[in-house]
Each structure stands twice: as structure tokens, then as C-alpha cells.
Amino acid sequence: MPPYLRFDVFTLLPDVFEPYLQASILQRARQRGLVEISIHNIRDWATDKHHVTDDEHYGGGGGMVMKPEPIFAAVESVLGSPPSCPVILLTPQGRVLTQAVVTELAAPALRRDAGDPPHHLALLCGRYEGVDERVRQHLVSDEISVGDYVLTGGELPALVLIDAVTRLIPGVLGDPDGPWDDSHASGLLEYPHYTRPPEFRGWRVPDVLVSGDHARVARWRREQALLRTWQRRPDLLEKANLSDSDRKFLEQLNTGEQDS
Ligand SMILES: C[S@@+](CC[C@H](N)C(=O)[O-])C[C@H]1O[C@@H](n2cnc3c(N)ncnc32)[C@H](O)[C@@H]1O
């Protein structure tokens, strides 16, 4: 069966990708044929003697700008013209990568039937002051930011996106339900986790978790998720999918009837 996902990454720093990709769950996903990731060095498409990929700003000012020619040449030689898949520019000016956006990017891969080609995404990593505006206007189809701060390049954001999208693919994680229980998947932060030993430095695991009563454990986890979200990210509660009993629990928190 073809892979679920294919990423083509365009970058000036191709060497930063493999060490992370090879050291993580992503490598297992690649080896099992669930995802394909190809890294392309934009510099290989610079035609001048010194393979120059950046130049000064028109209008003056410090810093360099990534030239359009090698970027268009790289993307069009790999993906055709117009590109055969969405081209996502990593930029602090893009829409912020939330779990909802991650799910949206993974959705075509999750819907696909056996035998369908992989869901294909191209990622374009900026450097310096970023890419020439004509790249954004005429080559890029989506722009994504990993948060309201500025990094030196789009390589870490590209790895963040690849990691977050790939872990939603069935078979990538050991626990198939894992990604859907995690923080943000249901709109809430996840409940706290404990493992052995049952007591460490006098700090005991909550009794309910060793009770063997699955219904009580499930209720405790749900209430802890609600409590955590209420304490840390009350903004998330407005959009979360809440049951009547969730709402009742939150009302008790708001009126101080529960320990927080
Ligand atoms: C120094 S930044 C350029 C910032 C740009 N001059 C601006 O103010 O919007 C260089 C490159 O890093 C990447 N980058 C930096 N911060 C990012 C973020 N929060 N999300 C995604 N990519 C980012 C982008 O690819 C960007 O082109």
C-alpha cells in the first residue's frame, strides 16, 4: 500500500533534518512505509557560479532576502508548474499551527482509501529576512507559523509540522487512540500521568488509579482534564466539546464547590 503521507521539504539547511528524523518515531514510520519525507537543497537550483540564494533588500535596510529564482526552480522541478500539491511556507506571519490545523493538514491522509496516492504536502523553509514576496504571492498556497516568536529559519517549524501531522497517521504511534486523547485533541488539556513506583519520596500515586475500577479512573481523568484546562487555559473551555456532567463539574469549580 502506498504511504499515507508524503512531504517534500525545500531548505537551505538540508543537513538539520535527518538527525532528528532518524532518531525519532518518524524514522520507524518511514521504515514501515507510512510516510515519505524528501529534503531538497534550494541551493542546488542556484545557477550562478557561487550558488547564491540570497540578495540585498530593494529599498535598503539590513539583512538579506531569499531570491525567487532558485526557490521557483526547486519547487517546480520537483512538483511541476503549477505545483502538484499545496506549498506551505513556514513563516511567523502565517496562521498559527494549533492541533486543529494539524488535524486539518492530516485529514486527507486519514480519509484516503487503500491504493490511493499519498497525501502530499510541500514545506518551504525561509532563512535571513525571509523569501522574496513574489514567492509568497505566486508559489505558496498556505502559510503557517509555529507561534508568535521569531526563529532564525523555517527548518525547526517544518520539523514541528511533520512530527505533529505524522503522529496522527494510524500505525505511527504504538497506541492507536493515543493522539486523540492528548492535550488539545478534544479541546482540553490532558489529565496527569503516573507510572511505577506507587510511592516515590513519600509522594503517592492517587488511590483511584490503583483501584482497578475503570469507570472511576475514567471519571477521575475527565475531571482532572477539566480542572487542568480550567486552571491553565480557561480560553479552551469555550470551544471544547462538553457533556452535561462536564458543565456541572465546571460550575462547581466556578462556585468553589470543588478543590482546585
Ligand atoms: C528571521 S525569520 C524572518 C522573519 C521575517 N523577517 C518577519 O519579520 O516576518 C527567517 C525565517 O525563519 C522562519 N520562521 C521564523 N519564525 C517562525 C515561526 N514562528 N513560524 C514559522 N517559521 C518561522 C521563516 O521561514 C522565516 O522566513
Tell me which DSSP letter residue 215 carries.
H
What integer pLDDT is reported at residue 56 of this predicted model? 97
Cα of 75 vs centre of ligand 1, distance in Å, is: 19
CATH of the domain at 222: 1.10.1270.20
Query: Ligand 1, atom 4: nearest CA belongs to which residue?
Result: 129
Does residue 12 have a pLDDT over 70? yes
Q: What is the pTM of this model?
A: 0.95
What integer pLDDT is reported at residue 73 of this predicted model? 98
48 and 155 both lie in a single domain: yes
141 and 55 both lie in a single domain: yes
Picking from 127, 156, 173, the residue at the C-terminal end of a domain is: 173
- Strand order in 119-125's β-sheet? 35-41, 5-11, 119-125, 87-96, 142-145
Q: Is 223 a catalytic residue?
A: no
Whole-number Å distance between alpha carbons of 240 and 188 = 6
The ligand 1 atom nearest the CA atom of 128:
10
CATH of the domain at 119: 3.40.1280.10
* Per-residue model confidence as pLDDT tens digits over 217-237: 999 999 999 999 999 999 999
Ligand 1 lined by 84 (C-beta under 6 Å): no
Provide the domain limits for residue 16. Answer: 5-173
Cα of 85 vs centre of ligand 1, distance in Å, is: 22
159 and 223 both lie in a single domain: no
134 is a domain residue: yes
What is the share, in percent, of the chain residues with pLDDT greater than 70?
99
Ligand 1 lined by 126 (C-beta under 6 Å): yes
For the chain, the straight-line distance linking the first and the last C-alpha, in angstroms and rounded, comes to 49
Q: Name the burial class of residue 229, with classes exposed (0-12), middle (13-18) and buried (19+) by CB atoms within 10 angstroms of its CB.
A: buried
Picking from 173, 208, 237, the residue at the C-terminal end of a domain is: 173
Cα of 154 vs centre of ligand 1, distance in Å, is: 6
What integer pLDDT is reported at residue 259 of this predicted model? 58
Does residue 260 have a pLDDT over 60? no
Cα of 146 vs centre of ligand 1, distance in Å, is: 9
CB contact at 8 A, 211 and 217: yes
139 and 103 both lie in a single domain: yes
* Per-residue model confidence as pLDDT tens digits over 17-59: 999 999 989 999 999 999 999 999 999 999 999 999 999 999 9
Whole-number Å distance between alpha carbons of 91 and 66 = 13
Does residue 146 have a pLDDT over 90? yes
Query: Ligand 1, atom 26: nearest CA belongs to which residue?
Result: 126
- For the chain, the average pLDDT equals 96
Tally of domains in the chain: 2
98 and 218 both lie in a single domain: no
Q: For residue 190, which of 214, 218, 226 has the smallest C-alpha distance?
A: 226
Q: Is 204 a catalytic residue?
A: no
Q: Is 234 a catalytic residue?
A: no
107 and 203 both lie in a single domain: no
Whole-number Å distance between alpha carbons of 260 and 257 = 9
Q: Is 92 a catalytic residue?
A: yes
Catalytic pick among 69, 182, 190, 246: 182
Does residue 158 have a pLDDT over 80? yes
Looking at the DSSP assignment, which residues form a beta bridge with residue 95? 144
166 and 210 both lie in a single domain: no
188 is a domain residue: no
Does residue 174 have a pLDDT over 90? no
178 is a domain residue: no
46 and 134 both lie in a single domain: yes
37 is a domain residue: yes
Ligand 1 lined by 68 (C-beta under 6 Å): no
What integer pLDDT is reported at residue 179 of this predicted model? 86
